[in-house]
Amino acid sequence: MSRPLVPGLIAEGDTDELFLARVIGRQLRALTDLAPRPVDVQSVQYGSCHMTKDDARIREAIEELAGDCHLIFLHSDHRERAKADRHAGDQVAPLVPVKETESWLLADANVWARVPGADASFLPGRPRDTEKIADPKATLRAVLAGVSHRKVSEHFAFVGDHVDLSVLARLPAYATWLDATSKALRNHGFL
């Protein structure tokens, strides 16, 4: 019999949720594939507010999620890192890129090769260098400038479903989150 694992997410915005929920689910399944007891990773549950709200509202959202979720991830971009860190705990882990979530979308050039009209020439040569891009949102817009059939936000879910997790693991901030998540899974008996 498998043990359910329900993740929660409080993100900065809707597009972050589109990407991160898919990545969280896929990464948790990959981490628990070798668990001594089968783990059934459930759908990500969303908080009742975004991380852009005040600390009291975020605390309320965490408490609401804690009733149903085993692990809760708090996503902020680098400017709000302290906010995510303030709420971290045994069941709550920050999920903070070096700059912005868009840098993680740019890490795997092979994903963009699957999007007709996308121009991967704007991407750095090494995946880990995507976290050094000064304006990841502008770079993502440049990559997608030749794609006429979708809005930029519509690509967040696609990349979340198809990005190579081993490529993401080369990014320093992602690797930090991956280590914290593995530790939390061990602490809660999933690994």
3-class state of residue 170 by DSSP: coil
User: pLDDT digit string (tens) for 45-91?
Assistant: 999 999 988 999 999 999 999 999 999 999 998 777 888 899 999 89
* Residue-wise pLDDT tens digits, 127-138: 999 999 999 999
Beta-carbon contacts of 157 under 8 Å, excluding residues fewer than 6 positions away, are 18, 19, 22
pLDDT tens digits, one per residue of 94-109:
999 988 999 999 999 9
Domain boundaries, the chain: 3-187
Task: Name the amino acid, one letter, at 144.
Answer: L
What pLDDT was estimated at residue 48?
Answer: 93
pLDDT in the model for residue 133: 95
Number of neighbours of residue 147 by Cβ within 10 angstroms: 17
pLDDT for position 99: 87
For position 182, what pLDDT does the model report?
95
Give 13's contacts (C-beta < 8 A, 6+ positions apart).
50, 52
Query: pLDDT value at position 161?
Result: 96
| pLDDT score recorded for residue 91 | 92
